[in-house]
Amino acid sequence: MVGPSMVCGVHARRTVPDPLFQRAMSRHGIVHHRELEDAGVTKSVRARLIMDGTLQRLTRGLYSVQPPTARTWALAGAFIAGPKAAIGGWHALEAHGMATFSPLGIQPVSPTHITIWTPADEHRSPTASAPDVRWLFRRDKFNRLDRATEVRRLIDRHDAVLDVCEELQTSEVIALITRIHQERLADPARLAALLSERSRHTHRRLLADMSADAALGVHSALEHNYTIDVERRHELPTPQRQVVVGTCAADVWYEEYKLAIELDGWGYHRNRVRHDRRIDNLRAALGIETRRFGWHDVTDDPCGTARVIATILRARGWTGSLRSCRSCPSDLESFSGG
């Protein structure tokens, strides 16, 4: 309530007025000192509310009516930077519900550093700090703010993905992007389009390839590695992907040669062996051969895996040649000749 009320003859403790409290909660607890003043909360009352924990000071002029969360701190940074600023980086991904990197063991380099994008023509101090966080103000040169959501003060999820990938190692980019595509949290075509608008990106080629592969049905990091390191590098025939073969979808399907390839990643469990054997037997009854490869086969020995697949394809009518890559053993040349 705004004014004091009498309870048993004693003035009740002042609180943040309910309309202002509700408005603050819609902004993850944030309230500006001018809003408090306009609501009748004087400076002395504000000091008492801070002392009893009703208000928590975030930075100069900004307070929270609840214990600050990561989103509270991020939004505070956008408020500091002005009405056109927006939250970026890891915090934008989390706010968009795309925090799929945690189970993958991918973490931001500095969790307490929050990226805030500001208009390219605005000049301000590159950083600001509070006791628990550090805001990094970066000038937007790739039109992120044109696509940002005004109410939530977030850059577009696709821009956030591209920005976060700049901080990651190649293996982490593959893991993150495949998980995002698996859960359909981003549009591969949209990612590719925004990537093409940027003059530079650390993982430009990788992201472009993965966006194109996602459109073709590549659904996992292992499938991506197979496509690049086994199939394309050794010029195997181009297969179909995620096509129903027999009773279930095959990861890779060479229809002309009736060869199905299943790629069993780290999540493969022994209790699936009986189920998979049944699938393989049903396919065999239809004249379809099924071969299974794991992470080691594809990632650690792609050349050997390519040789095995080429041998099977040859036996089933393929007349092409296996291309030798720089990592292939020298005897692959004689093998490629047929």
Domain that holds residue 314: 221-336
**5 pLDDT higher than 60:** no
Same domain, 80 and 123: yes
**8 pLDDT higher than 60:** no
Which strand (E) or helix (H) includes residue 250? Answer: strand 248-254
Q: Among 183, 216, 249, which residue terminates a domain?
A: 216
Residue 179 lies in a domain: yes
pLDDT digits (tens, 9 = 90+) for 312-328: 999 999 999 999 998 88
CATH number of the domain at 305, please: 3.40.960.10
Which strand (E) or helix (H) includes residue 211? Answer: helix 204-216
Residue 8 lies in a domain: no
Q: Which residue, among 225, 221, 204, has the nearest Cα to 104 in the 3D structure?
A: 221
pLDDT score recorded for residue 4: 39
Residue 48 burial (10 A CB sphere; 0-12, 13-18, 19+): middle
**304 pLDDT higher than 90:** yes
pTM here is 0.72
pLDDT score recorded for residue 171: 83
DSSP assignment of 23-46 equals HHHTTTTEEEHHHHHHTT--HHHH
Residue 150 lies in a domain: yes
For tokens 């500006």, what's the residue? 32
Residue 53 lies in a domain: yes
Same domain, 103 and 27: no
Same domain, 318 and 257: yes
Same domain, 233 and 162: no
Top pLDDT among 26 and 170 is at: 26
Same domain, 164 and 204: yes
**267 pLDDT higher than 70:** no
Q: Among 198, 216, 234, which residue terminates a domain?
A: 216
DSSP assignment of 75-130 equals HHHHHHH-TT-EE-HHHHHHHTT--TTGGGT---S-TTEEEEEEETT----SEEE-
Same domain, 305 and 291: yes
Same domain, 80 and 173: yes
Same domain, 207 and 83: yes
Q: Is 259 helix (H, G, I), strand (E, B) or coil?
A: strand
Q: Among 27, 44, 64, which residue terminates a domain?
A: 64
pLDDT score recorded for residue 12: 38
Residue 56 lies in a domain: yes
pLDDT score recorded for residue 138: 95
Top pLDDT among 206 and 221 is at: 206
CB atoms within 10 A of CB 196: 11
Q: If you average pLDDT over residues 295-318, what whole number do you get?
A: 94
pLDDT digits (tens, 9 = 90+) for 168-183: 988 888 888 888 887 8
**Mean model confidence pLDDT for the chain:** 86
Residue 161 lies in a domain: yes
DSSP assignment of 273-317 equals HHHHHHHHHHHHHTT-EEEEEEHIIIII-HHHHHHHHHHHHHHTT
pLDDT score recorded for residue 148: 93
Same domain, 273 and 318: yes
Residue 327 lies in a domain: yes
pLDDT digits (tens, 9 = 90+) for 119-141: 999 877 888 888 889 999 999 99
What angle is formed at CA 109 by the lines to CA 126 and CA 111, rounded to 5 degrees?
A: 75
**266 pLDDT higher than 70:** no
Same domain, 150 and 280: no
**34 pLDDT higher than 70:** yes
**186 pLDDT higher than 50:** yes
Residue 153 lies in a domain: yes
Same domain, 258 and 187: no
Q: Is 57 helix (H, G, I), strand (E, B) or coil?
A: strand
Give the burial string for 251-271 (b: 16+ CB within 10 Å, else e).
bbbbeebbbbbbbbeeebeee
Question: What is the number of domains present in the chain?
Answer: 3
Same domain, 235 and 306: yes
Top pLDDT among 211 and 100 is at: 211
Q: If you average pLDDT over residues 84-104, what whole number do you get?
A: 81
